[in-house]
Structure formats: structure tokens, C-alpha cells
Amino acid sequence: MKLLIQYLKPYKGLIALALLLAGLNQTFSLFDPMLFGKLIDHFANHPKTFDDGTPRTEGQFINGIMWYLFLLVGTAMISRVAKAFQDYTVNVVIQKFGAKIFTDGLKHSMRLPYQEFEDQRSGETLSILTKVRSDTERFIGYFINVLFGILVSVIFVSVYATQKHWSIVPIYFGGTLLIAFVTNILSKKIKTIQKVILKETTALAGTTTES
């Protein structure tokens, strides 16, 4: 992890920008169902009266709906724009980081004494370096696009649910922990299978390169 952080230090500004854009994207995307719910509660359930029972004119009804529609369109647009810039920033970081770590790994392999890998095919070494690059790139992409988005969603939903009723939060976190537990069990089995596949793929890559 220290080595990964060391390679990411030159791009900390871009990573911070990507996290900020990911937070904006996730937050504004969560505003959509909240605003739609308010639209239903305030206008669809009682179109001719306000929440306190006061009569409402047709003009006030239309203006209120138009205002909420404007908010829905605005939040959706901000979310999509933030997502587009987020994807661009993440791709820039991933490409620069991947090229750097692959080049350094290749340089290090070339400096090693021949005795270190005399029994190893050159294709296997290249396959390992490519695997390291793809795995680290995928990790960065998942962390910014998925894990950080989930964290923002959990915080947003927890704050909003607390305002509605205190019992929603324990149920929400209970479901989250259950999903995390099941996912962890499945990921361990998948990881075991991936190791076998990677071993066979590396050996095949070495044989193909040598031939």
C-alpha cells in the first residue's frame, strides 16, 4: 500500500478533483428521488390545497410543479456534467499511473541479474507486469467510481433517514452489513478461482512468447 501511495502522490491534485466530482455526482443523483417524492407529496396527493389545507389556485399549482421540474432537470444536469468530468479525470490518472508503474517494473526487471529469472520465460514476466498494471488501474477506478460513491450515498441516506425516523438507520446499516458479509464470502471464492486462472494464463503467455 505504501508503494501504491508513493506512485499516486504526483497525481494527488487530480485524485482530489476526481473525488470531489464523484461526491457531487453522487449527491446530486440522490437529490432526484428526494425531489420527486416532494413533488408527489406536495402536489399529486392534494393538487387543490397546500399542505396546511389552504386552497390553491391553478396558477400556483402549475408554478409549483414547474419549479420542482426545474430543480429535477438542474440536479440531473449537474450530476451528468460532474460524472463526465469525473470519468475524464479518473482516466487521466489511470493512464499516467499505469504507464509509470509498468515502465518502472520493466526497468527493474531488466536490471536484475540473469540468475533471478533464468528459468522463467520472458512472456511470464511481461504477463505479470501487465497484470500488475491492469489490477492497480482497476483498483483506482473502482475506489473512486464505486467505493467512494457508496460512502457518499451511505452518509447522505443516513442523514436524510434520521430526519424521517430513527429506526430506518439501524435497518439500513443492518442490510448493508449483511450484503458486505455475503459479498466477502463470494469474493474469497472468486479470488481462489482467479489465482488458478492467472497461473494458467501466465504460463500460457510465457509459452506463446517463447514460441
Higher pLDDT, 66 or 203: 66
Q: Residue 4, Cα to own-chain centre: how many angstroms?
A: 18
The Cα–Cα gap between 80 and 93 comes to 20
- Please report which confidence band the pLDDT of residue 148 belongs to, taking 50, 70 and 90 as the band edges: confident
The Cα–Cα gap between 80 and 63 comes to 26
51-86 pLDDT, tens digit per residue, is 777 888 888 888 888 998 999 999 999 999 999 999
- The pTM (predicted TM-score) of the whole model is 0.74
pLDDT reported for residue 85 = 93
Percent of the chain past pLDDT 90, that is, above it, reads: 10
The Cα–Cα gap between 179 and 69 comes to 34
Whether residue 28 contacts residue 78, with contact meaning beta carbons closer than 8 Å, is answered with yes
With a cut of 70, say whether residue 203 has pLDDT above it: no
Q: For residue 169, what is the enclosing H or E element?
A: helix 168-210
- Please report which confidence band the pLDDT of residue 154 belongs to, taking 50, 70 and 90 as the band edges: confident
The Cα–Cα gap between 135 and 199 comes to 15
Q: Determine whether domain 2-156 maps to CATH 3.40.470.10.
A: no
* Residue 167 dihedral angles phi and psi, to the nearest 5°: -75, -15
Three-class HEC string of 65-107: HHHHHHHHHHHHHHHHHHHHHHHHHHHHHHHHHHHHHHHHHHH
Q: Is 13 helix (H, G, I), strand (E, B) or coil?
A: helix
Work out the average pLDDT over 108-132: 67
Q: Across all residues in the chain, what is the average pLDDT?
A: 80
Instruction: Map out the domains of the chain as residue ranges.
Output: 2-156
pLDDT reported for residue 88 = 92
With a cut of 90, say whether residue 117 has pLDDT above it: no
Cell reading at 202:
501466465
The Cα–Cα gap between 184 and 122 comes to 35
Q: Is 57 helix (H, G, I), strand (E, B) or coil?
A: coil
